[in-house]
Chain A
Amino acid sequence: MRGRAGRIWKKYTGGSKMAAAGCAILALWIILAIAVPLFGPWSWSEQNAEIRNQTSSLAHWFGTDRFGRDLFARVWYGAGLSLFIGIVSALINGGIGVMYGAVCGYAGGKTDMLLMRAADIISSIPSMLYVILITLVMGAGAGSIILGLCVAGWISMARIVRGEIIRLKEADYACAARMEGIPPLRILVRHLLPNAAGPILVNLIFLVPQAVFTEAFLSFLGVGIAAPAASLGTIIQEARSQMILYPYQMIWPLLVLCVMILALNMIGTAVEEKTGGRRGWSE
């Protein structure tokens, strides 16, 4: 089992140090995000008027915010929520994108044209608009933000998969499969998609930081997660009003967010370089 995992690791990252470092950081972040709110001495939501706006100390490593909440606990809780939203929406978007792109690419012709134009239109509506709509209908929360991210988040994946399928379906082995009388769906699943695994994986990895990005940005504008729950974006937003007096309240969550995105980008870049899958950190 270990040998197989090792082989896959080698195949998709080329054993690069960058990927290993990225994974290590990410693992650390996940552990902290789970352990700190669970086992830490401070609650992420409990307000304490006596310790408002404290700077970093031994008791409160990241200090406290204006309601006297421990920032260390709060930041890691927020990081966990951001990462959760990022990973879940990346998986959903990845799934939709792969299916949509595969259908477009394999069908070709008019079907392809119509479906891709529809995708174009969806992607040209500002994401804020439907996130707000969804939060209005469903109420603010992680669920509606994930739904909001999934309205248009799959389009980049669909475009890439479509391109790959169009390229691969002309390959000789795909022609051979058609000559063998293998039905289209099976050709797609067994012969074409596995060969597009590299670009799909690269894009899937990059979907996570993109979703974290967008979530943070929406929360920052105040249309994301509702209080008292907090993602990194909302914590940064909360600190904004006192930015000049207490910059550390903003800098800590920013730092945690940037390192998280950096780690994800490192893994993605390593896989991209190894598999030759295109499209790095672009929209």
Chain B
Amino acid sequence: MTAVCREGTMRRAGEERMLRYTLKRMLIGVLSLIVLATVTFFLVRIMPGSPFQQGGVSSQVVEAVEEEYGLNEPIFTQYLNYMGGLLKGDFGISYQDPSTEVAEVIKRAWPVTASVGIAALAVSVLLGTGLGILRAVSEKRAVREIISGAGMLAAGIPTFAAAILLLLLFSVRLKWLPASGLLSPAHYILPVTALALYPAAVISRLTSNALSAEMGKAYYLFARAKGLGKWRAVFTHALKNAYLPVLNYVGPASASLLTGSFVIESIFTIPGLGREFVGSITNRDYTLILGLTVFMGAVVIAVNLATDLLCAWLSPETGRAYKKADGRQRK
């Protein structure tokens, strides 16, 4: 019992440090978000031309509309109003269509984007990790070469190119899969594949490189020496240490998947965030551009924060000691 108590105090010191780190990172995240909103606000404001100056609208009408939207006030007041609104979760009203709020657009489009993004994330992580492990562990040269070759090909095709090729092949030529929309699970197959291809290639490469490095370390050899089979030693020992660099990639990559791909959504006509964003830019819909950028920024910052915390949590004390051991070994 006493042993448990003593251990408790030791752990508590670690937890406290962890908590402080978490709070610090969250504070930095919030600050980054404020800076991001500010920067974007002014960037959008210096875009030339008013959204209402299109066509033959008279200047009086434009002025009236601008007054309605508060555009005639000093820019700093506009900024304060906007930031105040953001605090309450109010992203403003779309310039193009005064009947819709930006928040509503996000509410409508994000679940669509996120569903495709999560599916693509799952596919790329599973496929990438699996192939990466196979490449590191396999003793057959052919298997290793095929996986690295396929990875390099997959990484050489831009996402939009992959999407077009898949579309041409599977829905235009072979007519196996639907080409647009997201009505049934079958509709997911093409966009998810196109999205997952590149990250899967990167993940497989990172996994296999990190795992090969771990398998060269003394603890892996020791695990084998104490009777663990190859696969077992990989899964119970090497993988956990090898996965940190992979997580460091997966974090930012998942952020970009979750905020949607402009191209994929426009090629497969998926009503997601990316398409809204492209639309808002072509329409000069300032509030929508601003709102979407801030929202996407928030998602990116939140996911990156989660990744950092996960990495720190995965290597509590061990992370530091491990780096030290590594350095010592390098001699």
| A–B touching in complex (CB under 8 Å) | yes
Interface residues of A (CB under 8 A from B): 117, 120-121, 124-126, 128-130, 132-133, 136-137, 209, 213, 216-217, 220-223, 236, 240, 243-244, 247, 250-251, 254, 257-259, 261-262, 265-266, 269, 278, 280-283
- Asked if residues A117 and B28 are in contact (CB atoms below 8 Å), the reply is yes
Q: Which of A133, A240, A281 has a CB less than 8 Å from the CB of B43?
A: A133
Chain A: CB-nearest residue to B261: A217
Given A124-B300, A258-B161, A283-B256 contact (CB < 8 Å): yes
Residue B268 at the chain A interface, CB threshold 8 Å? no
- Asked if residues B263 and A262 are in contact (CB atoms below 8 Å), the reply is no
A-B contact pairs, 12 of them (CB 8 A): A121-B39, A124-B297, A130-B43, A220-B160, A221-B263, A222-B282, A236-B161, A257-B158, A258-B157, A265-B156, A281-B202, A283-B252
Q: Which of A126, A136, A137, A251 has a CB less than 8 Å from the CB of B293?
A: A126
- Asked if residues B266 and A221 are in contact (CB atoms below 8 Å), the reply is yes
DSSP majority for the A interface? helix
A196 CB, nearest partner CB in chain B, Å: 16
Q: Can you list the 3 inter-chain pairs with the closest CB atoms, starting with the nearest?
A: A262-B156, A281-B155, A261-B156
- Asked if residues B158 and A281 are in contact (CB atoms below 8 Å), the reply is no
Contact with A along B88-130 (1 / 0, CB 8 A): 0000000000000000000000000000000000000000000
Q: Within 8 Å CB of B156, what residues of A?
A: 209, 258-259, 261-262, 265
B239 CB, nearest partner CB in chain A, Å: 19
Docked pose: A262 CA to B281 CA in angstroms: 32
Q: Which of B39, B158, B168, B281 has a CB less than 8 Å from the CB of A217?
A: B158
DSSP majority for the B interface? helix
- Asked if residues B277 and A126 are in contact (CB atoms below 8 Å), the reply is yes
Q: Quick one: which of B156, B167, B304 has the most chain A CB within 10 A? A: B156
Q: Within 8 Å CB of B32, what residues of A?
A: 117, 120-121, 124
- Asked if residues B39 and A243 are in contact (CB atoms below 8 Å), the reply is no
Given A121-B35, A221-B278, A213-B158 contact (CB < 8 Å): yes
Q: Within 8 Å CB of A117, what residues of B?
A: 28, 31-32
Contact with A along B21-37 (1 / 0, CB 8 A): 00000001001100110
Count of chain B residues near A, Cβ 8 A:
50
Q: Within 8 Å CB of A126, what residues of B?
A: 259, 277, 293, 296
Residue B153 at the chain A interface, CB threshold 8 Å? yes
Q: Within 8 Å CB of A129, what residues of B?
A: 40, 43, 281, 289, 293
Docked pose: A3 CA to B165 CA in angstroms: 45
Q: Which of A132, A137, A254, A265 has a CB less than 8 Å from the CB of B155?
A: A265
Contact with A along B238-278 (1 / 0, CB 8 A): 00000001000100110010010011001000000000011
B132 CB, nearest partner CB in chain A, Å: 12
Docked pose: A45 CA to B245 CA in angstroms: 47
Q: Within 8 Å CB of A243, what residues of B?
A: 164, 167-168, 172
Q: Within 8 Å CB of B47, what residues of A?
A: 132-133, 136
Chain B: CB-nearest residue to A122: B39
Q: Within 8 Å CB of A251, what residues of B?
A: 165, 168
Residue B206 at the chain A interface, CB threshold 8 Å? yes
- Asked if residues A265 and B168 are in contact (CB atoms below 8 Å), the reply is no
Docked pose: A195 CA to B234 CA in angstroms: 32
